Amino acid sequence: MKYLSNKNGFLGIDNKFNFKEKVVIVPFGLEKTVSYGGGTKNGPKEIIKASHQVELYDEELNCEPYKKIGIKTLKPFKINKDMKKALKKISNINKDILNKKLFSLTLGGEHSITPGCIVPFVKKYKKLYILHFDAHADLRESYNGEKFSHASAMKRCLDYKNVSLISFGIRNISKSEIPFLKKNRSRINIFWAKDKIKWNLNKFKKIIKNKNVYLTFDVDGFDSSIMPATGTPEPGGLFWEETLNIIKIAAKNSNIVGADINELAPIKGFNSYNFLVAKLAYKILAYKFLSK
């Protein structure tokens, strides 16, 4: 695997600092099926750029997590225009990372990458739970004739019989998705945004206790007031502290085996949105490796 220099990679760490990596950041700006606003192909580059402004010290964990983790960033590479070939590429990359006993965090790109990202995890683990942050259920069989659309990302993940889904922040679902949801209630748990005040996070904790969990985060899961830089922003979503609390519960009670963050569509001149996603990525890694 070819890495960027520390200085040019995630967090922009001084090149004089040497460490053995535990985490590989994979920039994968796939953009093929966006259905409203575009620009997700620029997400990885802007997240990495913004990460250079993230404070390395974490006041909550009382340390500089990167020194205890070791984070390397893959050099950007060409992404095939054919959707199936592109998904095969990210599957193979994650397989290589997993074989080296490293942790993969993929930066998208659109949410359609997730079914490709999870393939090696599905094969490795007898049972895999997907922790899914999103405004949309993504349970359509297809959208605009595309089976691998971003609107079908979780449906494609559930094509694997050993996958179960836990979704947070959903507030947009089509009528066509309801029958599949009802039929698969044993495999799908949705914490609806409309019920946020009544969420039972102890139930969530019990579901994931000692389980293998893959985390996928569509940034439109955030409320549109703090994250408008995405193709399909939705009001009524998640805010920063409650989001971190859910991730922290997952990190303390389950084995987070891999992750991806998707659907940032950078807006020129509005760097705070890129920064939010960069900090989210750093917090996910800090909780994964340091919160237990």
What percent of the chain shows pLDDT beyond 90?
A: 85
Angle between helices 240-253 and 271-290 (to 10 degrees): 20
> Could you state, in order of their start, the residue ranges of all structural domains in the chain?
23-290
Q: Supply 37's token pair.
A: 């606003």
Distance (Å, rounded) from C-alpha 203 to C-alpha 55? 34
Q: Which residue has the higher pLDDT, 40 or 146?
A: 40
The CATH superfamily label for domain 23-290 reads: Ureohydrolase domain (3.40.800.10)
pLDDT value of position 14: 84
Cα–Cα distances in angstroms (integers) from residue 285 to residues 106, 161, 202, 205, 291, in the given order: 12, 28, 23, 19, 10
pLDDT tens, 47-58?
Answer: 999 999 999 999
Q: What is the pTM for the complete model shown?
A: 0.95
3-state percent helix, strand, coil for the chain, nearest multiple of 5: 40, 20, 40
How many residues does the structure list for the chain? Answer: 292
Query: What are 154-187's pLDDT values in tens digits?
Result: 999 999 999 999 999 999 999 999 999 999 999 9
| pLDDT tens-digit series, residues 95-141 | 999 999 999 999 998 889 999 999 999 999 999 999 999 999 999 98
